[in-house]
Structure formats: C-alpha cells, structure tokens
A = this chain, B = another copy of it.
C-alpha cells in the first residue's frame, strides 16, 4: 500500500517544477507541448491522480456537491439522483451521497458530515430534519431542497404541488364512486402536511368526511395503518389515499393478508409514481411526480448559485397528475352508504 505519488514526484520525474505540473493538470493554455507531454507521461507512469481535497483547500473552491438522501430504500430518491447526476457530471462536479437513515437525527449527522467536506453546494432529498439545521447549512453553502418546502430565502426548492396532488387523488376516487376514503399520512415526513391538506380539502369539496390515519413513508407503516383500520369498529373505507408508493404497497400487502382484494374490496392510490408502481405486477395507481426532472432542476438550481452567483431563491413547483393503473376501481356495489 505505497503512499500515493504527489505532484512533487511527478515534477521530479518529468524534470519540471511542481507549479508546471499543476498548470498541466488544470489544462492551462500557455504550456509548451513538449512539457505537457512529459508531465502526462510521468503522471501515467507513476499512477498519479490529483488530490481533490488538497486542491480545493488551496484553491478555496470546491467541485463537490453533497447529496443527502433521507431514505435510500425509497426508489423515489434513486430516480431523483439519476437526474442530479446527469446534470452535475456534465458540469464537472462530483456528487457525494450520504443517507439520513429515515430519522431526523440521522439526517442531521449526514448533513453535518457532508458539510465537513466543504462542498460547493448541497441538495437535500426529502429532508425531515428541522428547519434550523437547514438554515445553518444554507448559511455556509447553497442549498436546494427537493420534496420539502421552506420559507428560507437562502434555499431553493423543487417540489410538486403536494396539496393539488392529493386533491387529484381524491377527485379520482370520488369519480370512481368512492365516498368512504381514508388517508394514510406521511407523519413527520417532508411534504406530508401538504398532502394531508390536499386530501382534507378534496374531501370537503365533495362534501365528504375526511379521516386521516397517522402513518409514515414506509411499507411497514402502510401495513400497520391497515391493521389499525381493521381494528376499528367503523365500516372499512372503500378507498385509501396512501402517503406514497412505498406506503401504498405496504398497505396493499396488509389488505391482502387480511383477505381483502385490491381493488375489488378496497382501492388504493399511491404517490410518486416510482419505478415500483410501474411494475405491471404491482400496477399501482398513483400520483406522478417527474422524479428525474426534479433531479435535473435541483442540480441546475444549485449550479446557478454556485457558478452564476444567483442569490434570489428559486421555487420550482411541478404539477402532479393521476396515473390510473390496477389498484383503483369503482367501490364494491354493496358498499353504498
């Protein structure tokens, strides 16, 4: 495990100064072809590659972008990361990813850890962490939030209109004839309040009684919410607006385990339109968020702050739409109230 060669080593081997090697490595224009070749040759022979962190320390700049993923298990984020990567790679930045392990405390750690690399910017995907923490980060470095809204002028946001999305989900179910529609919410998760409000507003709009069951953005929580439902005395709802796709799938699993058929007995609609819902075997009806586009927009936003020095906040608000697949259908005929 020989210690890696440094610029000094390359310089010695190529018979030039360290400064010249630095120029060559950065592709400076005024270097003679002969020296340039000699430096590259020496670098190749030694297996040299620049020490990014020493570079950023010396240059007081960084090409690193930190990405905090609140839940690595949710495919939604993997798809956003795809969009992020596409844009940032092209712009010559590097992504480093950290996970929040589904808890605010974990997210806090992840954000701080990312910050300790002194990145040029940060993108937080679905953060559930306190606003204070986000604010602190945004004071040090440009921050873009995805799937989380904020009033902070120092952070940009990329969101879909979660209120509208949930309302659309309700409209869709009401359109199919449902009246007893329950919402499993995202608990303390990001955007959960908005989706809940959209659901409540939608229900009221149709003159229906909203009913929210506290849940989370995980399959386990979705299954648990169903069990809560089954233990209640009240008649079962004919439809569920789940917090997100993962939650919906957990719910469907629990329903089927309880001998209920989806959508014959109960309709379920998710949220996010992740790859999960696309699978024909799952065939989850859901509300679409354009995940890859969101990643791209987030990357552009952070680059605008980093490279172009923009300081005015940007708020991207995308319009959700319902994707009907096989988990929503008219309610069973005997369910008329």
Contacts and interface: CB of A to CB of B under 8 A. Distances in A.
A99 B276 CA distance: 20
Contacts of A142: 1
Interface string A263-285: 00000000000011001111000
Query: Can you tell how many copies of this chain the complex includes?
Result: 2
A252 B275 contact: no
A10 interface: no
A167 to B, nearest CB: 26
A117 B101 CA distance: 23
Contacts of A279: 219, 249-250, 253
Given A73-B78, A99-B97, A116 B47 contact: no
- Please provide the 3 A-B residue pairs with the shortest distance between their CB atoms, ordered closest to farther: A253-B280, A53-B53, A97-B97
Interface residues of A, number: 56
A290 to B, nearest CB: 17
Interface stretch (A133-141, A172-180, A184-192): A133-141
Interface in A45-61: 47, 49-54, 56-57
Given A4-B118, A98-B95, A279-B219, A112 B49 contact: yes
Given A53-B118, A54-B57, A47 B136 contact: yes
A89 to B, nearest CB: 8
Contacts of A1: 139-142
B99 A96 contact: no
Nearest to A220: B275
A96 B98 contact: yes
A177 to B, nearest CB: 24
A31 B85 CA distance: 45
Most buried by B among A81, A97, A223, A279: A279
A85 B73 contact: no
